[in-house]
Structure 1
Amino acid sequence: MAIRNLSNLRAPKKANENKKRVGRGMGSGMGKTSTRGHKGQGSRSGSSLMRGFEGGQMPLHRRLPKRGFTNIFRVEYQVLGLDRIAEVVEADSANSELTLEKIVSLGLLRKKNGLVKVLNNGELKSAVTVHAHKFSASAKEAIEKAGGKAILIGGESVAA
Structure 2
Amino acid sequence: MSELITLANLKPFEGSKHREKRVGRGPGSGHGKTSCRGQKGQRSRSGGGVPPWFEGGQMPLIRRLPKRGFKNPFRVEYEVVNVKDLAKRFSEGAVVDIEALKEAGLVKGRNVRVKLLGDGEINFALTVKVHAASRSAREKIEKAGGKVELLEA
- TMscore range, shorter length: 0.7 to 0.9
Q: Which residue of 1 aligns with 2:57?
A: 56
Change (3 A) 1:4 1:50: closer
Change (3 A) 1:127 1:61: same
CA distance in 2, matches of 1:99, 1:10: 52
Superposed counterparts of 1:81-160, under 5 Å: 81-89=82-90, 92-93=91-92, 96-154=94-152
Kept in 2, the 8 Å contact 1:52–1:60? The answer is no
Change (3 A) 1:122 1:39: farther
Change (3 A) 1:137 1:35: farther
CA distance in 2, matches of 1:86, 1:3: 61
Q: Which residue of 1 aligns with 2:42?
A: 41
Kindly indicate whether residue 83 of structure 2 is the aligned counterpart of residue 71 of structure 1.
no
CA distance in 1, matches of 2:17, 2:106: 55
Shift of 1:144: 1.7
Poorly superposed stretches of 4+, deviation over 6 Å: none
CA distance in 2, matches of 1:129, 1:77: 19
SS, match of residue 147 in structure 1 = coil
Shift of 1:107: 2.5
CA distance in 2, matches of 1:147, 1:74: 34
Q: CA RMSD in A?
A: 2.7
Change (3 A) 1:125 1:28: farther
Structure 1 residue ranges without an equivalent (≥5): 156-160
- How many residue pairs align between the two structures? 149
CA distance in 2, matches of 1:29, 1:49: 26
Q: Which residue of 1 aligns with 2:12?
A: 12
Identity of aligned residues (%): 49
CA distance in 2, matches of 1:139, 1:81: 8
* Matched letter for residue 119 of structure 1: L
TM normalised by structure 1 equals 0.76
SS, match of residue 20 in structure 1 = coil
Shift of 1:39: 4.5
CA distance in 2, matches of 1:153, 1:53: 50
Change (3 A) 1:4 1:127: closer
